Amino acid sequence: MRIEVATDRFYLSRFYSEAVEAAGGAPVHISLIPKVEYIDSVVRHLDGVLLPGSDSDVDPLRYGREPHQRLGSVHAIKDETDLLLITAAERRGLPVLAICFGLQVLNVSRGGTLIQDISSQVPGAIKHEQGVPRDRASHKVVLAEGGRLRDIAGSNEAIVNSHHHQAVENIGSNLQVVARASDGLIEALEDPRPDRFTVAVQWHPELGWKDDRFSEKLFQTFVAEASSFKLRCEQDTSPVTA
């Protein structure tokens, strides 16, 4: 979820839910209530977690930096809820798909840092804030060999949309880089542990899944992993019969 500060509303773009549902999942929205008890009560009933984008930036104090002049708005309630959700998902070993801000807060949760403003901090960077139409694929990413994303794409590169002014700087623990843009900026991270499905992308596959096979397959893979997680849990709790 996001928060609209001016009206005190929680909200989320329809495209995330539609993409999950089309892939066979049942989307559930989690309110921005940063309380451990609430998050745990919701997560125990989930089979996977999608961390969506946001119109806010992660508070740089959370990764040991002072605010840059071009830092965007910071919503503490968003940061705190997402960080609690990531912790709870990790505890259960839930499949995780993180998108844009979701990638950034995931990286911060694991001790990583962020570039606070690409255009003023990265000389020679390509345009990463494409504007409208938002679903248009605007730049290429190179997908690393051995990564899940490369398997999903069936190729060593893809063309993606781009709507971010921040990027990963130093990667956090149990994460590896699996995609970069032509300017070298990190475009995707994955958890390499074999018992985890954690895939994080800097672009927005929820915007293009109807027309882009790579985006569609990413959601299908995420939902399939969630279904497998559910099945394993059911098998682990099944009574033993003689």
- CATH number, domain of 36, equals 3.40.50.880
Does 233 qualify as catalytic in the annotation?
Answer: no
**Greatest CA span in the chain, whole angstroms?**
68
100 is catalytic: yes
**Pairing assessment for the beta strands 167-168 and 49-51 based on DSSP bridges:** unpaired
Percent of the chain at pLDDT > 90 equals: 96
User: Is 240's pLDDT higher than 60?
Assistant: no
């709790």: which residue's tokens? Answer: 237
Calpha distance 173→123 (Å, rounded): 27
Helix (H, G, I), strand (E, B) or coil at 45: coil
Q: What is the mean pLDDT of residues 211-222?
A: 97
Is 70 exceeded by the pLDDT of residue 136? yes
Residue 76 lies in a domain: yes
> Looking at the domain assignment, is residue 175 inside a domain?
yes
Q: Does the pLDDT at position 161 exceed 80?
A: yes
Going by pLDDT thresholds of 50, 70 and 90, the confidence category of residue 165 is very high
Please indicate, yes or no, if residue 242 is contained in any of the structural domains: no
Give per-residue pLDDT as tens, 81-105. 999 999 999 999 999 999 999 999 9
Q: Are 174 and 110 within 8 A, CB to CB?
A: yes
Is residue 176 domain-resident?
yes
Asked if residue 229 lies in contact with residue 210, where contact means CB atoms within 8 angstroms, the answer is: no
For residue 46, being part of any structural domain is answered with yes
* Burial (Cβ within 10 Å: 0-12, 13-18, ≥19) of residue 27: middle
Catalytic residue, chosen from 75, 139, 164, 204, is 204
Q: Is residue 197 part of a domain?
A: yes
Count of the separate structural domains present in the chain: 1
* pLDDT recorded at residue 239: 67
Fill in the DSSP letter of residue 62. G
Among the options 90, 190, 206, 216, which is catalytic? 206
Task: Match 């001016």 to its residue by tokens.
Answer: 6
Torsion angle, alpha carbons of 88, 91, 97, 101, to 10 = 50
Does the structure show a pLDDT above 60 at 48?
Answer: yes
% the chain with pLDDT above 70 = 98
The number of beta carbons lying within 10 Å of the beta carbon of residue 238 is 8
pLDDT at 241 over 60: no
- Domain range spanning residue 121? 2-237
In this prediction, residues 63-72 reach a mean pLDDT of 98
Confidence of residue 237 (pLDDT cuts 50, 70, 90): confident
CB 109 within 8 A of CB 172: yes
Catalytic residue (choose from 100, 128, 139, 163): 100
Query: How does 177-204 read in b/e, with b if 16+ C-beta sit within 10 Å?
Result: ebbbbeeebbbbbbbeeeebbbbbbbbb
Distances, alpha carbon 75 to alpha carbons 2, 8, 116, 186, 204, in Å: 9, 12, 15, 24, 21
Q: Which residues contact 220 (CB under 8 A, 6 or more apart)?
A: 23, 24
- Residue 206 annotated to the active site: yes
Q: Write down the mean pLDDT value for the chain.
A: 96
Give the containing element (helix H, strand E) for 237: helix 213-237
- pLDDT of 236 strictly over 90: no
Distance between CA 217 and CA 191 in Å, rounded?
A: 19
Provide mean pLDDT across the span 131-153. 97
pLDDT at 33 over 80: yes
